[in-house]
Amino acid sequence: MKSTNLDRYWNSLRSETRAYPWRNSLSRMAADVFLVNFSMLTAFALWFLFYVVILRAPDPQGLAEVFKNFVTHYWLLWSFLALLVFQLSGFYPRTQDLGGVRKAVSLIRAVSSFIVLFVFADYFLYRGALVPRGVAVIAWILTLLTVGGIRLTKHKILKRYNFEPKADPERVRQVLVLGGAGYLGSAIVAQLLQRGFKARVLDSFLFGENSLDDLKTHPNCELVRGDIRDIGAVVKAMKGCDAAVHLAAIVGDPACEENKQLAMEVNRAATRMLADVARGCGVRRFVFASSCGVYGASEFCLDETSAVNPLSIYAQTKVDSENILMASKAPDFAPTILRLGTLFGLSPRMRFDLVVNLFVARAASSGQITVLNGGQWRPFLHIHDAARAVIACLDAGTSAVSGEIFNVGSSALNLQIEQLAEAIARGVPNTEIVRIENADRRNYRVSFEKIERILGFGCERSLESGIEEIYAAISSGLIADFTTDQFHNQIAMRAMAAAAGGKLAPSGQLGLLERAEAKPL
- Return d(Cα 305, Cα 450) in angstroms, integer: 10
Q: Tell me what pLDDT residue 207 has.
A: 78
**Can you give the three-state secondary structure of 180-204, one letter per residue?**
CCCCCHHHHHHHHHHCCCEEEEEEC
Q: Tell me what pLDDT residue 516 has.
A: 35
Q: Tell me what pLDDT residue 1 has.
A: 45
Q: End-to-end distance of the chain based on CA atoms, in angstroms?
A: 28
Q: Tell me what pLDDT residue 149 has.
A: 82
Enumerate the domain spans of the chain. 22-161, 174-350+378-413+442-461+494-513
Helix (H, G, I), strand (E, B) or coil at 265: helix
Whether 135 contacts 236, CB under 8 Å: no
Q: Tell me what pLDDT residue 456 has.
A: 92
- Return d(Cα 116, Cα 109) in angstroms, integer: 11
Measured CA distances, 518 to 130, 138, 167, 341, 349 (Å)? 59, 56, 32, 8, 14
- Look at phi and psi of residue 113 and say left if phi exceeds 0, alpha if psi is from -120 to 50, else beta: alpha
Q: Tell me what pLDDT residue 2 has.
A: 45
Q: Tell me what pLDDT residue 69 has.
A: 81
**Please, which residues have CB within 8 angstroms of residue 208's CB and are 6 or more apart in sequence?**
none
Q: Tell me what pLDDT residue 383 has.
A: 96
Q: Tell me what pLDDT residue 158 has.
A: 60
Q: List residues bridging with 286 in a β-sheet.
A: 244, 335
Q: Tell me what pLDDT residue 251 has.
A: 72
- Return d(Cα 17, Cα 350) in angstroms, integer: 32
Residue 177 DSSP symbol: E
Helix (H, G, I), strand (E, B) or coil at 104: helix
DSSP E strand stretches across 166-296: 174-178, 198-203, 221-225, 243-246, 285-291
Q: Tell me what pLDDT residue 515 has.
A: 39
Whether 277 contacts 238, CB under 8 Å: yes
The total of other beta-carbon atoms located within 10 Å of residue 386's CB is 29
The total of other beta-carbon atoms located within 10 Å of residue 117's CB is 15
What averages of pLDDT result for each successive group of 10 residues across the chain (521 residues)?
50 50 71 90 86 79 80 85 83 54 78 88 72 86 87 69 54 93 94 94 86 92 91 94 90 68 77 93 96 89 92 90 95 96 94 92 93 88 97 94 96 94 94 83 85 94 95 91 74 54 45 38 36
For domain 174-350+378-413+442-461+494-513, the CATH superfamily is: NAD(P)-binding Rossmann-like Domain (3.40.50.720)
- Return d(Cα 46, Cα 136) in angstroms, integer: 11
- Return d(Cα 515, Cα 207) in angstroms, integer: 10
DSSP 361-425: HHHHHHSEEEEESTT-EEEEEEHHHHHHHHHHHHHS-HHHHTTEEEEES-GGGEEEHHHHHHHHH
Question: How do residues 365-384 score in pLDDT, each as one tens digit?
Answer: 999 999 988 888 899 999 99
**Beta pairing class for 243-246 and 221-225:** unpaired
